[in-house]
Amino acid sequence: MVFYKTANLKLKLCLHSSSAFCFRQILRRDLPANAIFQHYKFASLNLRDNQRYSKAMLHFCMKQIMALLCSPHSYVNLCEEVSNTEMTQSIHNMKCGKAPGPDNIHPEFIKNLGSSDLKWLAAFFSICMRLNLLPKIWRKANIIAMLKPSKDAKVPKSYRLISLLCVPFKNLERMILSRITPYAEKCLPDFQAGFRAGRSTIDQVLQLCSIIEDGFQLKQKTALALFDLTAAYNTVWHQNLRLKLLRTIPDKHLVAFIMKTLSNRRFVLRTSDGQESRARHLKNRVPQGSILAPCLFNIYISDSPKTLSTKLAYADDLALAFTGPDWADVENAMNRNLSTLNTYYHQNRLQLSKEKLCMPCTILTHVTWEDD
């Protein structure tokens, strides 16, 4: 145990200077699976630890939650018994050929259950939601570290992490998603196209091209800011998420059950050569690979502030576009908008990725040709 603590401490101290050097040092005495985990763990933990939040902000959030829990607002029972139609639709939408989770139950096993078995599983799902209970193994995830093509195997950033959850739990999540989607769609802004029916990145690209072309026709300049968030899913503040879910979903019991599925989660990281890390716990996050995670994250950032620039988003990827008569006005507007968003993300414990921030400007200009 002392050996692991020493190795982890050295990794934490070296991360700021050189991740590659740190990984090589740990590789000599520890498993690569543990070293890869430590890299991503401290990348998300440092993101939260470097942002100091006052007790007043936490108190304000808890005060708002208690006010919503005690307020007599409209109530809709979204934790009713799971129907045969819901069960059939959930299994129909399940894809075969996928890897199993920690319980080693394959999707094909669920798809080939008999009618009596499906009734038992539907009753089990209903009991879980009604009593606000969850099997312990459903809180666990297997994370597979896959080496990216043409990348150095000794650098932690060279690995792509794939999260495998229990298949029955994902079926339950799919049913919950179908119940909360009508209420979530009412609060999501129009500029958000991530993981929404009838919307895609193609729509966002076409709208962005239209903005640039309209500015060109008006002989104006257009500037863009393209960025995403650093470890977006891993830095979701649970108390703030709970507050926003209570404002969106008219069922306090279902909100409590959703938060139950997010708490006390643990996972094991495995490499492609069969090595395995110890079980780890993370507090503030929505699980990767979860059916509910994209919808929960969309709700989490649904109250994004209004800006002068046109916003186009797909999950945590955001584009700002502003058109003006001269570059000075465009630059001032973009700076104000970025400052507004940065303040909002800081309050919600999110952070813009400085490495992926891109601010191009359109080069379309009107050229006047003179006859000889």
Residue 14 pLDDT exceeds 90: no
Residue 162 pLDDT exceeds 70: yes
Residue 50 pLDDT exceeds 70: no
As a whole number, mean pLDDT of residues 34-46 equals 53
Residue 330 neighbours by CB under 8 Å, 6+ apart: 221, 222, 223, 322, 323, 324, 361
pLDDT at 33: 59
Higher pLDDT, 282 or 89: 89
Confidence band (pLDDT; 50, 70, 90) for 235?
confident
State CA 6 to chain mean position distance: 32
Residue 371 pLDDT exceeds 80: no
State CA 96 to chain mean position distance: 24
Residue 80 pLDDT exceeds 70: yes
Confidence band (pLDDT; 50, 70, 90) for 45?
very low
Higher pLDDT, 14 or 325: 325
pLDDT at 42: 46
Residue 52 pLDDT exceeds 60: no
Residue 323 neighbours by CB under 8 Å, 6+ apart: 211, 214, 215, 218, 220, 221, 222, 330
Q: How many helices (H) and strands (E) does the chain have?
A: 13, 7
How high is the mean pLDDT of the chain?
Answer: 80
As a whole number, mean pLDDT of residues 181-208 equals 91
pLDDT at 349: 86
Could you give the angle at the alpha carbon of 314 between the alpha carbons of 309 and 320, nearest 5°? Answer: 15
Residue 167 pLDDT exceeds 70: yes
One-letter amino acid at 65 equals I
Percent of the chain with pLDDT over 70: 80
Q: Which residues pair with 266 in a beta bridge?
A: 140, 281
pLDDT at 73: 62
Residue 5 pLDDT exceeds 60: no
Could you give the angle at the alpha carbon of 280 between the alpha carbons of 275 and 284, nearest 5°? Answer: 135
pTM of this prediction exceeds 0.75: yes
E-strand ranges in 137-253 read 140-147, 159-164, 221-227
As a whole number, mean pLDDT of residues 340-346 equals 90
DSSP summary character for residue 17:
T
Closest CA to 32 of 147, 109, 112, 123: 147
Higher pLDDT, 216 or 282: 216
94-129 confidence digits (pLDDT tens): 999 999 999 999 999 999 999 999 999 999 999 999
Q: Which residues pair with 225 in a beta bridge?
A: 320
Alpha carbons 272 and 270: distance in angstroms, whole number: 7
pLDDT at 36: 58
As a whole number, mean pLDDT of residues 215-239 equals 86
Task: Give the torsion through C-alpha atoms of 49, 55, 56, 57, to 10 deg.
Answer: 30
Residue 119 neighbours by CB under 8 Å, 6+ apart: 84
196-223 confidence digits (pLDDT tens): 988 888 999 999 899 988 888 888 888 8
pLDDT at 16: 32
